[in-house]
Structure 1
Amino acid sequence: MGALFYIQGVPIGPVAVSLALVASMGGFIFGYDTGQISDILLMPDFLLRFAQCSTPGVADTCKFSTVREGLIVALLSIGTLVGALVGAPTADFLGRRYAMVSECGVFIVGVIIQICAFSSWVQFAIGRLVSGFGVGALSAAVPMYQAETAPPQIRGTLTATYQLFITFGILVAYCVSIGAREIAGSGSWRTVVGIGIAWPLVLSTGILFMPESPRWLARHERYDDAMISLARVRGVSRADAPNHMLVQKELEEIRSMEEYERKIRGGWLECFRFGDGQKTGYRTLLGMALQSLQQLTGANYFFYYGATVFQSVGIQDSFVTQIILGAVNFGCTFGGLYVMERFGRRFPLIIGGVWQAIWLFVFASAGTAGDPQNEGIGKLMIVSACLFILGYAMTWAPGIWILIGETFPTRSRAKQGALATASNWLWNFLIAFFTPFITRAIGYRYGYVFGACNLLGALVVFLFLYESSDISLEAVDQMYADPNCKPWTSRRWAPPGYVDRKDLIGQSRAAEGQKPLASGALEETRVEKAEEGGR
């Protein structure tokens, strides 16, 4: 084994990339399940079986009631909310990898319940609820596992692959749906749903070949295993790990923080502790707010009901429009990987919130002021929706999942991540269930609501979010605990012993090359050792 490539002069092993891709299948499962329902709701056999038909046997006369449509779409989100909360103790007890395996099993059970439904829409909805348990637990475990295991130099990019795979899953669901709709009878929608079994099988098998989170291992005092885990993601051999300066430096940082946190570890109430000097409660509320605001950007308005929305503006084949939106979403997320790594977390989220608000205002204004059936108005609405998705895919979509993995302390990361993710799923359910009611009441003016929420999100990021790029998870804890550091000055903050974050990067390079620098913690440590040797 050796380094696959170097970032900032620091080695990155092939396992680091592999674990990000394999674990991100959890995001693919989420995306596929999200993307499929919009098109399934329009399939003739599905309508005949589960909708209310004025003329039996004629699909064109079948229509879902607002409540039934909302429940079929939204019960997944109720399951994910519960799953996210259950996923925290599961990930802490079983470990991040085995938790994912068990959660994949739950998702498969839900899929089987759905494809076995024949005439009861309630059974199909319950199947989505059960699948939601698995999706929600995975949404808490995967970003946490990626953030805890990935090297700091590429943590943002690797964690953002979770969102990339969500968008990929949505796009694949759209493509499968447009192919499967020609299958006669129930094979159309059963094929789309049944293929979903393949994705958790890939995740549950592949994750067993990946290393466990070094921070979870350290929490259980398995420091030798934690060292091997760190070495594997760095491309360092097991034999070289005990003498590798960078691996030992990271291990010592994790050990020190774990020994400190072991003294103060608590239960769920610990997540809401204020005045502890660590901003624990502050970070919990911030994570919950950011996850809620990600849903309130309005993205799932298009993903859940996009086919219905574009059908209403006169698009003949709304399935094709869904694929266009899905392709924009997937393609632009690649840009998001670069943006979040190159420009940090705060700046892209602020700019993204403003950009998304602008295009939602255009979308709502066009649909409200003119006739959506007009060709020009319809095209303007589609273009504005695509430009909204462009901004979302490059900023708020990957950025929030990155922050959930790197904002919280190790002692309560699973619980805080679960609470934040549960907030996402709560708003996911509310939007999925109430959107049909709201759109029938206020039409496209709904876009104004989402536009305002995007501006609120940009303001929350500016006032409360600390910049956590380029530093270790343990250093993030120190940053939030520093009373002299403010969110708007956090980009310049660096751990004690470093001049700034550029100096921190230089120290990491020196540690890899075992070359002393003129300033910083590395040089100070060597001077101390030299003095001790001379006594």
Structure 2
Amino acid sequence: MALFHVQGVPIGYVAIMLAIVASMGGFIFGYDTGQISDLLLMDDFLTSFGQCGTPGDVSTCHFSNVRTGLIVGLLSIGTLIGALLGAPTADFFGRRRAMQLESLVFVVGVIIQITATDQWAQVAVGRLISGLGVGALSAAVPMYQAETAPPQIRGTLTATYQLFITFGILIAYCISIGTRHYKGSKSWQTVVGIGIVWPGILAFGIQFMPESPRWLALHGRMDEAQTSIARVRGVSAKDAANDFVIQKEIEEIRSRLEFERNEEGGWIDCFRPANKQLYRTLLGMALQSLQQLTGANYFFYYGATIFQSVGIEDSYVTQIILGAVNFGCTFLGLYIMERFGRRYPLIIGGLWQSAWLFVFASAGTAKVPQDNPGIGKLMIVSACLFILGYASTWAPGIWILIGETFPTRTRAKQGALATASNWLWNFLLAFFTPFIVNNIKFRYGYIFASCNLLGAVVVYFFLYESSDISLEAVDMMYNDPNCKPWTSRTWAPAGYANRRDLAEQARAAEAHKPLSGATDEHFEKAGSAHSGEKV
């Protein structure tokens, strides 16, 4: 039974549950990201793995830039490799089984970390292995959510991945502030060890969710694909064969796969110019790279250290404030990305983020923050306002786009390439940030500000608006020679005046009251309208 209706079509409770359960993959990512900033400041972690002038005396211990960069950054190397391995894994085993296997890999990495006693390299290797699981999940989860979610709420459901990333970061901060005074290794082992719980929830919960209907259809299992869509729609399996909306979705998937039947779907196909494959691969890689270059992880990885340097006494508390802003504003992002589409929020977000990073960098450069409390407060406010913009635009928006920009046969591989680009820049920033900050201090913010401006430009000139239409229609749009990125917001499948007309006709069909000119044949043609076009 449908839980509610959107644009007149049914949405089942399973659609909400699959978004929440699969998004535990994002929670794992966020929790692992959030914990490291505080671990680097914990006394036992410092004395166990840092370089100490007097063994056991925390006041003489520190982490060199190289050691800090490797402990923080090796996770990202693992995630880069994991993202690339995640594509064939998800294609071979299916989206759900792949997520279960990747959760197990993450747990192995956590166990390696918490059993370390005095070898920092063991912690780094454990983070590398955990990264394999996180990276593969980062490729699989948004793809699974986009392929399974109803188009009417796809943006919101896919954005829950980013929401759970921010939730994971916040929870890591809160647990860290609670354990920092524990005696001995319990202070940091507790934080890291609790990480085993989250993949357990994902691996167990995803067992009860439907498989991606597009993966099932790609493997010739159309009856199961129909059942999967029916569960998400809240329609019983026996009624699915007579349900107009479900049959329309199945027909769109079938006709698009028929059009793609001669395409191999291998790695090399991701770089072929035909059907804008190369265009979309490079666009996805650029957007994921630019998401890292917004500068958000500068605050999340090194936030505690940054705010110590501006004279804040308890930088743990400041981290929680930033984490809370990040988490809270992501709810705003769910609304923005569903209400205003993808292009406008990303363009405006890039400009907003750039402005506040200029303020942050200028304030830190103009005066010494430690000697000027007002400057330090201004920097924290500007950092929070930057995160407000990031959490409500670029953070959820890019993960949504990775799930809905690519065609079915190559979606896993193109998504993996894009996600790997994210992790490559994640590593480069994590590793080199200590060196860069030592040399240019807070002027580092100017670099990120410029990258945000570049992001806004890339979105305007190259990104197509993919909201409110099916994944198959997105593929048609990219292959329509008459559609340009800046005009794509008004594009709709053949037979519809615009996207509102598409929604109204779907609503009328669900109510069994077809609008004038709207027939079953009309809808079937819309699903395969551009299949004969050459590009």
TM normalised by structure 2 equals 0.97
Task: Find the partner of 1:504 among 502, 505, 509.
Answer: 502
Deviation per CA, 1:167-221: give whole Å up to 9, x if none.
Answer: 0000000000000111110000000000000000000000000000000000000
Structure 2 letter corresponding to 1:499: A
Residue equivalent to 2:306 = 309
Instruction: Show the 5 A alignment for 1:192-231.
Output: 192-231=191-230
Residue equivalent to 2:533 = none
Offset, 1:55: 2.2
Residue equivalent to 1:462 = 460
Offset, 1:58: 1.3
Instruction: Show the 5 A alignment for 1:154-233.
Output: 154-233=153-232
Deviation per CA, 1:278-300: give whole Å up to 9, x if none.
Answer: 21110000000000000000000
Residue equivalent to 2:423 = 425
Contact 1:150 1:158 in 2 (8 A): yes
What secondary structure does 1:11 align onto?
strand
Contact 2:37 2:302 in 1 (8 A): yes
Task: Find the partner of 2:349 among 348, 352, 376.
Answer: 352
Query: For structure 2, which runs of at least 5 residues remain unmatched after alignment?
Result: 526-535
Residue equivalent to 2:529 = none
The structure-2 alpha-carbon separation of the partners of 1:246 and 1:380, relative to structure 1 and needing over 3 Å to count, comes to same
Paired-residue identity, %: 76
The alignment status of 1:37 with 2:36, answered yes or no, reads: yes
Taking the aligned partners of 2:113 and 2:263, their CA distance within structure 1 comes to 45
Offset, 1:259: 1.8
Taking the aligned partners of 2:510 and 2:421, their CA distance within structure 1 comes to 40
Structure 1 letter corresponding to 2:281: T
What secondary structure does 2:5 align onto?
strand
Instruction: Show the 5 A alignment for 1:66-465.
Output: 66-274=65-273, 276=274, 278-373=275-370, 374-465=372-463
Contact 2:252 2:524 in 1 (8 A): no
Give aligned pairs, total.
524
Residue equivalent to 2:5 = 6
The alignment status of 1:514 with 2:512, answered yes or no, reads: yes
Offset, 1:518: 1.5
Contact 1:117 1:124 in 2 (8 A): yes
Question: What is the CA RMSD across the aligned residues, in angstroms?
Answer: 1.0
Structure 2 letter corresponding to 1:354: L
Query: For structure 1, which runs of at least 5 residues remain unmatched after alignment?
Result: 528-535
The structure-2 alpha-carbon separation of the partners of 1:124 and 1:522, relative to structure 1 and needing over 3 Å to count, comes to same
What secondary structure does 1:117 align onto?
coil
Contact 1:498 1:520 in 2 (8 A): no
Taking the aligned partners of 1:525 and 1:390, their CA distance within structure 2 comes to 41
Taking the aligned partners of 1:117 and 1:178, their CA distance within structure 2 comes to 22
Taking the aligned partners of 2:457 and 2:523, their CA distance within structure 1 comes to 41
Deviation per CA, 1:248-271: give whole Å up to 9, x if none.
Answer: 110011011112212112310100
Structure 2 letter corresponding to 1:308: T
Contact 1:25 1:200 in 2 (8 A): yes
What secondary structure does 2:306 align onto?
helix
Taking the aligned partners of 1:521 and 1:40, their CA distance within structure 2 comes to 62
Taking the aligned partners of 1:16 and 1:469, their CA distance within structure 2 comes to 17
Taking the aligned partners of 2:519 and 2:284, their CA distance within structure 1 comes to 31
Taking the aligned partners of 2:165 and 2:208, their CA distance within structure 1 comes to 22
Task: Find the partner of 2:485 among 481, 484, 487.
Answer: 487
What secondary structure does 2:117 align onto?
coil
Contact 1:503 1:520 in 2 (8 A): no
Structure 2 letter corresponding to 1:125: A
TM normalised by structure 1 equals 0.97
Taking the aligned partners of 2:475 and 2:508, their CA distance within structure 1 comes to 24
Offset, 1:326: 0.1
What secondary structure does 1:279 align onto?
helix
Structure 2 letter corresponding to 1:121: W
